[in-house]
Amino acid sequence: MRRLASSRARRSVDPSATGYLFVAPFLLVFAAMLVLPLGYAAYLSLFQDRLIGGTVFAGLDNYVTALQDDRLLQGVLRVAKFFAFQVPIMLAISLLAALAIDSGLLRFAKAFRLGIFLPYAVPSVVATLMWGYLYGPDFGPVAQLADKIGAAAPKFLSDGWMLSSMANIVTWEFTGYNMIILYAALRAIPHELYEAAAVDGAGPWRTAWSIKIPAIRPALLLCVIFSVIGSFQLFAEPNLLQRLAPSVIDSAYTPNLYAYTLAFTGQQVNYAAAVSFLLGAVIVIASYTVLFLTNRRSKR
Amino acid sequence: MSERRSKLLMIGMIALFVYFLLPLFWLFVASTKTTGDLFSSFGLWFSKDFSLLTNIRQTVTYDGGVYARWMLNTVFYSVVSAGGAAFLSALGGYGFAKYRFRGNGAMFALVLGSIMVPTTALAIPTYLLFSKVGLVNTPWAIILPSLVSPFGLYLMRIYAQDAIPDGIIEAARIDGASEFRIFFQVALRMLSPGLVTVLLFTLVATWNNYFLPLIMLNNPKLYPVTVGLAAWSSQSVGGGGSTGALLSSVVTGSLLSVIPLIAAFLLLQRYWQSGLSAGGVKE
């Protein structure tokens, strides 16, 4: 308990008790802003607003309804599909860029690093508005160019394209962020490993594949986990694109958009709490699945 | 051969560079155009009229100067939230790193695990709770939830472990300094690079936040710039006679809103890198 207090220094203050004082402010706010709302949501999700009888205890009814709610399941599947193709592309670009910048073969590496990272400073609202205009048929440059050569511009905001258009926005926003995490991990690899590889006659590609990528596995994993969390809570992008293409993006396009609609348009507070809770559970399960799968593979 | 390889690398990187910066270039170009030119001239180059200043004037004076208010709100919310979150994280991270007490490991694990709790799944319950106690539609509704940064606590704990030698704390104790005096006069100074990193990350998070203020606030005077721009944009899409003027204000307002953070990123480069390296490497 009092390992830090050496026997030489006898004071009236007990350092182990002081430890509590240091962590208490954080933990108090943590409890108030994280634990309490979650508890309250759990409580609310057990009730239902009925026409007759008002708010009544409903047990797990909301969860049963949610698990059979087609709109919610569609949304979860859509987000899962989004995750399955957007994240590999984004992480591949991040990894290639990080390796290129780290390789020492590139001039102006610092400028590239900064340029690719810069979109992270742009709020998702602004990024979506901007890409929305770029996609647009009126004054989007792609549509203008297509018009000039007499071709039909891709309908970026149509049903068939929407998920890819959204994936492009998210990739634009977060590739740089992931690249910096991976780059920082690459910088931390001990240089003796490179020397050993060079002695064995490995070229830059071989070194990247056999030494660098395995060495930064933990960082890659961190990027995947952050991407799981990010994808499943997509909101700003669909919410803003909905205004440009209301017939393509419905109010349940992503689970988060659905929870928002339930709580603020439909006034179904209790059901929204259950949906939020389930969504949180899906994210935690998905994150742990990723952790579990990658751990098992590395042990083999 | 190696030369050809690095040439290939260069071409690939230039392509990426263009992809990531072209939209921002477009935003700047579009901000210099009148609404008419926005439609009639080529999107990726300037038109004859350079109306950036007119657009800026129009943006900041529209609707009684509400845009300036949104910017000030954003600055206020993010600075207070980031300052508070960084301070709580520093205090807590130092506590977890440098003191042994019952429950240290368990409580830290609980906080770390909460990184996986999605902020948006939390936002609706927080809204319901806040509406019960009358905090909805006040600045507190944005600031209080932003004070908790599990990732910040994690960074500060790692940082405190590495940057503050136990010997220095011991020496200060022998000199008779109280525990809090040691923190404020000795430790805090050594923690300051880590503190700036946490400050920067929480600042970006609050600055860019959209979901939380969208649900918490319905008084336009309290909006941060993200919610304000989204509202303008839906008005300009929604039709009505005044859409044209508002359209160029959305574009110019977007440009103005990204300038402060981009400037901060350029100035404080080494901090975000050290923060992400701590997060990425030591997991």
A129 CB neighbours in chain B (<8 A) are 229-230, 233, 250, 254
- Contact A237/A170 with Cβ under 8 angstroms? yes
Q: Give the C-alpha separation, A300 to B212, whole Å.
A: 43
The model's pLDDT over A200-224, given as tens digits with 9 standing for 90+, comes to: 888 888 888 888 999 998 889 989 9
The model's pLDDT over A80-99, given as tens digits with 9 standing for 90+, comes to: 999 999 999 999 999 999 99
Cα-based distances in Å from A2 to A18, A19, A180, B163, B179: 11, 10, 40, 22, 14
Cα-based distances in Å from A239 to A232, B87, B233: 14, 33, 12
- Contact B197/B76 with Cβ under 8 angstroms? no
Q: Give the C-alpha separation, B61 to B55, whole Å.
A: 10
Tokens (6 digits) for B149: 């940064």
- Contact A253/A238 with Cβ under 8 angstroms? yes
Cα-based distances in Å from A19 to A33, A183, B186: 22, 35, 16
Interface touch B120/A233, C-beta < 8 Å: yes
- Contact B268/B198 with Cβ under 8 angstroms? no
- Contact B249/B59 with Cβ under 8 angstroms? yes
ipTM: 0.89
B44: contact with A, CB 8 A cutoff: yes
Cα-based distances in Å from A98 to A74, A84, A174, A187: 35, 22, 14, 10
Q: Strand A47-50 vs strand A54-57: parallel, antiparallel, or unpaired?
A: antiparallel
Strand partners, A49: A55
Tokens (6 digits) for B107: 């409580």
B16: contact with A, CB 8 A cutoff: yes
Identify the H or E element spanning A231: helix A217-232
Full pLDDT tens readout for chain B, 283 residues: 456 667 888 999 999 999 999 999 999 999 998 887 777 777 778 887 888 888 999 999 998 899 999 999 999 999 999 999 999 999 999 999 999 888 899 999 999 888 878 777 788 889 989 999 999 999 999 999 999 999 899 989 988 988 889 999 999 999 988 888 999 999 998 888 888 888 888 899 999 999 999 999 999 999 999 999 999 998 887 654 455 668 889 999 999 999 999 998 888 777 766 666 655 444 3
- Contact B98/A3 with Cβ under 8 angstroms? no
Q: Where are the alpha helices (DSSP H) in chain B?
A: 2-31, 35-40, 52-98, 104-113, 119-133, 140-146, 150-163, 166-174, 179-182, 188-208, 211-216, 225-237, 243-267, 269-281
Q: Give the C-alpha separation, A230 to A72, whole Å.
A: 18
- Between chain A and chain B, the number of residue pairs with CB atoms below 8 A apart is 304
Nearest to B121 among A32, A127, A233 (CB): A233
Interface touch A181/B117, C-beta < 8 Å: no
A116 CB neighbours in chain B (<8 A) are 16-17, 20
Instruction: Choose the mutation target among A8, A125, A165, A221 for the interface with B, i.e. most B CBs under 10 Å.
Output: A125
Nearest to A139 among B38, B179, B234 (CB): B38
Q: Which residues contact A219 (CB under 8 A, 6 or more apart)?
A: A181, A182, A184, A185, B280, B281, B283
B89: contact with A, CB 8 A cutoff: yes
Q: Give the C-alpha separation, B114 to B87, whole Å.
A: 19
Nearest-neighbour CA in chain B from A26: distance (Å): 5
DSSP B63-107: HHHHHHHHHHHHHHHHHHHHHHHHHHHHHHHHHHHH---TTHHHH
Q: Give the C-alpha separation, B207 to B197, whole Å.
A: 15
Largest CA-CA distance found in chain A, in angstroms, rounded = 86
Q: Give the C-alpha separation, A198 to B181, whole Å.
A: 52
B11: contact with A, CB 8 A cutoff: no
Interface touch B265/A117, C-beta < 8 Å: yes
Report the predicted TM-score, pTM, of the whole model to 2 decimal places. Answer: 0.90
The percent of residues in chain A predicted with pLDDT above 70, rounded, is 93
Three-state secondary structure string covering B190-215: HHHHHHHHHHHHHHHHHHHCCHHHHH
* Burial of B165 from C-beta contacts in 10 A (0-12 / 13-18 / 19+): exposed
